[in-house]
Amino acid sequence: MKDHYKTNGAFSWNELMTTDPEAAKLFYAELFGWELEDYPMEETNYTVVKVGGEGQGGIMQIPPEAKGAPPNWGTYITVDDVDATVEKATTLQATVLMPPRDVPEVGRMAIVQDPQGAVFMVITYVDMNA
C-alpha cells in the first residue's frame, strides 16, 4: 500500500487512551522498544509512538468526554469522506459515538460502533504536503 493516510479503507493509526499515560509509556517502550515523542497540546499531552522513526500511533489521557471508559486501544481507518462514511454506517445499523468533527492540523474524524459492538474511528487526514 502506497499511503495508508490517503487510501480509503486502510488502517492508518492506533491510539491508546488511558488513565495513566506515563505508566503506559514506560510499559510499552520497555516491552516493544518504541520510540516516544511528546507533543504538548492545549488541553493535554499527546505522545506519538514511533517504530524505526515512523509514527505508528499515539498515547493520551482519556479525555473528559470519555470519562468512565476503561483504558483502550482504538484504530483509525482512512476514508475519503468522514461525513458520508458515518451516514452510510448508520444505514447499516451502526451507532455514532462521536459525530464528525475537525481536529486541527490532523483532519476530520468520527467514532463509530458497529452493530456487533466493536468501536473504530474513521478519519480523513489533512494534506500534509499542502
What's the pTM?
0.87
**How many other C-beta atoms lie within 10 A of the C-beta of residue 105?**
7
Mean pLDDT confidence for 77-95: 98
Is the CB of residue 41 less than 8 Å from the CB of residue 100? Answer: no
Query: How many residues appear in the chain?
Result: 130
Instruction: Give the domain ranges of the chain.
Output: 1-15+66-130, 20-61
Query: In this model, does residue 1 exceed pLDDT 50?
Result: no
pLDDT surpasses 70 at 2: no
pLDDT digits over 33-82, tens only? 999 999 988 788 999 999 999 999 999 999 898 889 899 999 999 999 99
Residue type at 98? M
pLDDT at residue 116 greater than cutoff 50: yes
For strands 72-78 and 95-103, give the pairing. unpaired
Quick one: pLDDT at residue 84?
A: 98
How do 11-18 and 72-78 pair as beta strands? antiparallel
- How far, in Å, CA of 97 to CA of 99, rounded? 7
Question: Mean pLDDT across the stretch 89-100?
Answer: 97
Nearest to 10 by CA among 125, 130, 117: 125
Judge whether 35 and 44 are in contact, CB under 8 Å: no
State the average pLDDT over residues 86-100: 97
CA distance 8 to 100: 17
Top CATH class of 1-15+66-130 equals alpha beta
